[in-house]
Chain A
Amino acid sequence: MNYVIIGASAAGLATAEEIRRTDKNGAITILTREDYLPYSRPSISYFLKGKVNQADMFLRKNNYYSQNKIDIVTGADVKEIDVKKKTVKAGRKLYSYDKLCLATGSKPFVPPMKNVEGKANALTFLDLASTKAVKDMANKDTRAVVIGGGLIGMKAAEGLSKICKSVDVIELAPRILPSILDAKSEKGVRQHCANKGGLKFHLEDTVVEAKSKGKNITSVVLKSGKELKCDLLILAVGVRPETELAEKAGLEVNRGIITNPATMQTSNEDIYAAGDCTVSVDMLDGSKKIIALWPNAVKQGTVAGSQMAGGSEAIDGTYSVNAIDFYGLRICTCGLINAQGEQYSDKIVACGDQYKRLIFEGEKLVGYVLINSSDNAGIYTYLIANRIDLSTLEGDIMATPDLFLFSKEIRTEKLTGGVTV
């Protein structure tokens, strides 16, 4: 069997590893257009601020791939899939496949702005190459402007604030980090970032035009009329699923690549897809959405790999879970944090810089936002993922969760795995 995987991040690597677990002999080829072996994309902001070295960003040891007979081709930019001949083309090389997985991830979305495109100091922040470009350009005199107050923009801003003279963050929405924070908790986080990192926020605003000198932007003009001096412009408005190859190959695409939600098979039976390029079905409300988060990508990759190799792993329920920190403030969120509707209720405990909000649907937990109060958060995640009826639990759900929420029988099973001593 020839397995080909396009993309070498969370989903692509998980796919390859699961194929190898199931099929010891098949040929596995991962094609990546990047120049690096699989590395941690989320680490780029830590690389920018100097907290991790490049060598520590790689997801596996260098010899791991040869040991597991996984062939990784770097610098391989796939331009075409021929679904009839079952080949993919990267440069002049053709790779034939029996089973193919698209783990192409996301691409930055850059809205049209006058005089920005092609400027030397207007950069995206998504991968190691772009981060190196940012790092080369940023210094103690740099006045940086970040467009976008989502996860990528805010992580870029945090990293840059350790290096640059000033960092301005411009966000079209009335709040930052909408994918992980609810409206109630956002303000405190924003204030923390302003106080600790000196970030300046411009909400409900956008860049309409850049002023430049030669190849470099010198300032940006906002919709509100403000003009900000700018030596480095980071374009982090958002990302979109990278679906170009899938569309050209005639696969079903609607924002992201459409797959069988259980098997990750696309509309072509020999092609699977996993990770940020796909449309997920959220088990908590049945909605179709792009869940561009690492644990989801790994889970989908594992299932795609298993199915490609004839195994039977299947998606047993998808939900969002994310943990991140900004200037020491720990944010942990899961599930339906922006749930709207009469069926939902919530409870909040807030004290100082701690905030805990649990979201319920009847007797079930369907989401949480935890700020500096994430101890044992995984127990909440377990309750959400397993749709546990909260009326069967003991104790106060708003207290730090522990195994005493469960009956003695369940607790003992969890702690001993059924081993009797």
Chain B
Amino acid sequence: MKKVISREKLCVNCHLCEVYCKTAHSESKDIIKAHKLENPAPVSRVTVIGGRMASVAVNCRHCDDPACVNACITGAMTKDKKTGIVSVNENKCIGCMTCLAVCPNGCIKTGNTAIKCDLCQGEDMPACVKNCPNRALVYVEVGGND
């Protein structure tokens, strides 16, 4: 499958990936409305960690054997057999956050349900990658699907 690969040496700590992720996962798809008006506020699924000296964007690794899927107590978290994408069914999720408690990389966000990267399902390229100004984020085929 294709995954987002994050290159620390190229990250400039601008957090634009977060801005565009939040917008891509908003109702309005508008940067200003997404950041100022929408309620509930949309959540960025990618997070830039570190600081000015060193930083890197972290998002879901869509693991081959995902701890979050194995631990999900409702069957809401699944890994798609064909695409390899790990995603949350919001109707089934009760927001217990067991997935968050077992994700070894810190890739699950809290909302009414668990929130996580879905690789912008349906898009050719995830919004974070498309809008990274220094190509610190790239979208590449890594194999290992399912």
Q: With a CB–CB cut-off of 8 A, which chain A residues contact B50?
A: 404
Instruction: Give per-residue flags for B2-45: 1 if the beta carbon is below 8 A from chain A beta carbons, else 0.
Output: 01011110000000000000000000000000000000000000
Instruction: Give per-residue flags for B86-114: 1 if the beta carbon is below 8 A from chain A beta carbons, else 0.
Output: 00010110111110111111101010000
**Chain B nearest Cβ from A420, distance in angstroms:** 9
Q: Which residue in B54, B91, B102 is a CB contact (below 8 Å) of A408? A: B54
Q: With a CB–CB cut-off of 8 A, which chain B residues contact A322?
A: 98, 101
Output the residue of A43, A46, A321, A378 with the most chain B CB within 10 A. A378
Q: Does B140 contact A (CB under 8 A)?
A: yes
Q: Does A204 contact B (CB under 8 A)?
A: no
**Which of chain A's residues has its CB closest to B10's CB?**
A421
Q: Which residue in B71, B74, B106 is a CB contact (below 8 Å) of A43? A: B74
Contact B102 A321 (CB under 8 A): yes
Q: Does B56 contact A (CB under 8 A)?
A: yes
Q: Does A179 contact B (CB under 8 A)?
A: no
Given A42-B73, A334-B101, A411-B56: A375 in contact with B96 (beta carbons within 8 A) = no
Q: With a CB–CB cut-off of 8 A, which chain A residues contact B101?
A: 321-323, 332, 334, 374, 377-378, 381
Contact A402 B49 (CB under 8 A): yes
**Chain A nearest Cβ from B81, distance in angstroms:** 11
Q: Does A295 contact B (CB under 8 A)?
A: yes
Q: Does A36 contact B (CB under 8 A)?
A: no
Contact A295 B97 (CB under 8 A): no
**Chain A nearest Cβ from B72, distance in angstroms:** 8
Instruction: Give per-residue flags for B46-90: 1 if the beta carbon is below 8 A from chain A beta carbons, else 0.
Output: 010110001010100100000100110111000000000000010
Residues of chain A in range 318-363 having any CB-CB distance to chain B below 8 Å: 321-325, 330, 332, 334
**Which of chain A's residues has its CB closest to B50's CB?**
A404
Q: Which residue in B7, B67, B75, B106 is a CB contact (below 8 Å) of A60? A: B75
Contact B100 A415 (CB under 8 A): no
Contact B5 A414 (CB under 8 A): no
Q: Which residue in A56, A378, A421 is a CB contact (below 8 Å) of B102? A: A378
Q: Does B132 contact A (CB under 8 A)?
A: no
Q: Provide the bound-state CA to CA distance between A294 and B77, in Å.
A: 14
Output the residue of A42, A322, A421 with the most chain B CB within 10 A. A421
Contact B96 A414 (CB under 8 A): no
Q: Does A52 contact B (CB under 8 A)?
A: yes
Contact B142 A417 (CB under 8 A): yes
Q: Provide the bound-state CA to CA distance between A332 and B98, in Å.
A: 8
**Chain A nearest Cβ from B56, distance in angstroms:** 7
Q: Does A28 contact B (CB under 8 A)?
A: no
Given A58-B75, A332-B100: A378 in contact with B5 (beta carbons within 8 A) = no
Contact B92 A295 (CB under 8 A): no
Residues of chain A in range 46-72 having any CB-CB distance to chain B below 8 Å: 46, 51-53, 56-60
Q: Which residue in B7, B47, B58, B92 is a CB contact (below 8 Å) of A52? A: B92
**Chain B nearest Cβ from A412, distance in angstroms:** 6
Q: Does B125 contact A (CB under 8 A)?
A: no
Q: Does A235 contact B (CB under 8 A)?
A: no
Given A416-B6, A417-B142: A52 in contact with B102 (beta carbons within 8 A) = no
Contact B96 A402 (CB under 8 A): no
**Which of chain B's residues has its CB closest to A299's CB?**
B70
Given A379-B106, A381-B101, A403-B56: A42 in contact with B5 (beta carbons within 8 A) = no
Q: Provide the bound-state CA to CA distance between A52 and B113, in Å.
A: 12
Q: With a CB–CB cut-off of 8 A, which chain B residues contact A382?
A: 104
Instruction: Give per-residue flags for B126-146: 1 if the beta carbon is below 8 A from chain A beta carbons, else 0.
Output: 000000000000101010100
**Chain B nearest Cβ from A127, distance in angstroms:** 14
Contact B92 A421 (CB under 8 A): no
Contact B104 A379 (CB under 8 A): yes
**Chain B nearest Cβ from A180, distance in angstroms:** 11
Contact A378 B56 (CB under 8 A): no
Given A298-B70, A324-B96, A404-B50: A421 in contact with B5 (beta carbons within 8 A) = yes
Given contacts A295-B70, A299-B70, A417-B61, 15 further A-B contacts (CB under 8 A): A52-B94, A59-B74, A60-B75, A323-B97, A325-B97, A375-B110, A378-B103, A378-B106, A381-B102, A381-B104, A404-B49, A414-B61, A415-B8, A419-B5, A419-B140
- Please list 22 pairs of residues, one from A and one from B, whose beta carbons are closer than 8 Å in the complex, sorted by A's number: A40-B74, A40-B75, A43-B73, A46-B94, A58-B75, A302-B70, A321-B101, A321-B102, A322-B98, A323-B98, A325-B95, A334-B101, A374-B100, A374-B110, A375-B100, A378-B100, A408-B54, A411-B8, A412-B8, A414-B104, A419-B142, A421-B140
